[in-house]
Amino acid sequence: MRIGDLTIGAGHPVAVQSMAATRTQDIEATLRQVRLLEAAGADVIRIAVDSRKDTDALAEIAGSATRPLSVDLQENYRLAEVVAPHVQKIRYNPGHLYHHERRRPEHDKVAYLAEVAAANDCAMRVGVNCGSVDPAKVDQFPEDDSIGPMLASALEHCEMLDSIGFERYCVSLKDSDPNKVIDANRRFAQQRPDVPLHLGVTEAGMPPDGVIKTRIAFEQLLSDGIGDTIRVSLTLPFDDKGEEIATGRGILEDIEAGRFRSVPRYRPEGMNIISCPSCSRVENEAFIELAQKVREVTEYAKMHSITIAVMGCRVNGPGETDDADLGLWCAPTFVNLKRGPELVGRFGYDEVLDRLREQVDDVITSR
């Protein structure tokens, strides 16, 4: 599959990509991110758009980019026709298509995206995420089966694109659990070995844990010939986002040289902190510092098997904290603290950590 001057799949080298972490409409900051990622050796750089202000900014940013750009459409798929002339790849999430024009058939929306992509010489990615799967798909599977809905959604959209005659697409199936990433991608590859795969462990978290989770998934899949492009998703300060590229390159070099560090399955013991990568969807940069402080204030409980999810935006935050014991998803001025799918309350950034410790203590006591 061609993405600008890059080709993935069919025996080509595995491409390494990352995502700009700044707000897209902040042109100066986002251009700095693009240059930083280019200097780090990114093959593809992804930028999110969620409004017309973002699309206007993207048009200016694209003129200075030297590597292919992928646009993340978020919830408004109609922005595709505005941004497509400026990028080489369009990423859409099947689970977000129902947000706009709910009476319009999903097939028509996919056909529209394919038409726009073809008219502008763009590739596409069908990006399926564990926390934002189409609700209609989730209802078709048992409550404890999170891979089934993801796989069904990805396969359905492949069939739609095939029926339309659009062939320049790849698929991603991402989860914060590397075991699920491995299982989902293996199952997909068995059924659609012809479709290039974009690999990633979403919300892998902070180094070194996030690197370990990602390495395990990549080692298991790439060593089986599964995967054509990768994204390492780490919670990092904006100026350090190049580490995602360096980490990805390092993992690829180790796999090529036969240096493996993983065991067949990832079995976390003790505290498991999941946090999303710092990206342009984050509505308050304090999220990054908060994620780091969560690890510090829960250090006393690190031997307890508790999963805490720290999410930085409204797109993935609500759904991807549901499966954690405790979840924090960050709004511009407050943090939603959850226990499983239930909301404990909304607290300021300066007070939520005390509330979190109370919940950690209660979880430990209740067990």
Contact 141, 148 (CB under 8 A): yes
Amino acid at 264: P
* The pLDDT of residue 110: 97
38 and 176 in a single domain? The answer is yes
Residue 16 clears pLDDT 80, i.e. is over it? yes
Q: Is residue 284 part of a domain?
A: yes
237 and 283 in a single domain? The answer is no
Q: Which residues of 334-343 are buried (b: 16+ CB within 10 A; e: fewer)?
A: ebbbbeeeee
288 and 155 in a single domain? The answer is no
Number of domains in the chain: 2
| pLDDT class of 286 with cuts at 50, 70, 90 | confident
Share of the chain above pLDDT 90, in %: 77
Round to whole Å and give the CA distance between 301 and 363: 11
175 and 222 in a single domain? The answer is yes
What's the chain's length in residues? 367
Average pLDDT over residues 65-89: 94
Q: Which residues of 267-278 are buried (b: 16+ CB within 10 A; e: fewer)?
A: eeeebbbbbbbb
Q: Is residue 118 part of a domain?
A: yes
The number of CA neighbours under 13 Å toward the Cβ of 241 is 29
Q: Is residue 266 part of a domain?
A: no
117 and 62 in a single domain? The answer is yes
Average pLDDT over residues 151-168: 97
Q: Is residue 16 part of a domain?
A: yes
Average pLDDT over residues 206-233: 95
158 and 281 in a single domain? The answer is no
232 and 276 in a single domain? The answer is no
Query: pLDDT tens across 169-218, in order?
Result: 999 999 999 999 999 999 999 999 999 999 999 988 899 999 999 999 99
* The pLDDT of residue 277: 78
Range of 151's domain?
2-257
161 and 217 in a single domain? The answer is yes
Query: pLDDT tens across 127-138, in order?
Result: 999 888 988 888
Q: Is residue 177 part of a domain?
A: yes
Round to whole Å and give the CA distance between 70 and 92: 10
180 and 285 in a single domain? The answer is no
103 and 209 in a single domain? The answer is yes
Round to whole Å and give the CA distance between 42 and 27: 19
Cβ neighbours, 10 Å, residue 332 = 10
Tell which of 225, 257, 289 closes a domain.
Answer: 257
Residue 311's domain is classified under what CATH number?
3.30.413.10
* The pLDDT of residue 160: 97
Average pLDDT over residues 93-101: 87
Q: Is residue 129 part of a domain?
A: yes
116 and 216 in a single domain? The answer is yes
Q: Is residue 267 part of a domain?
A: no
* The pLDDT of residue 251: 97
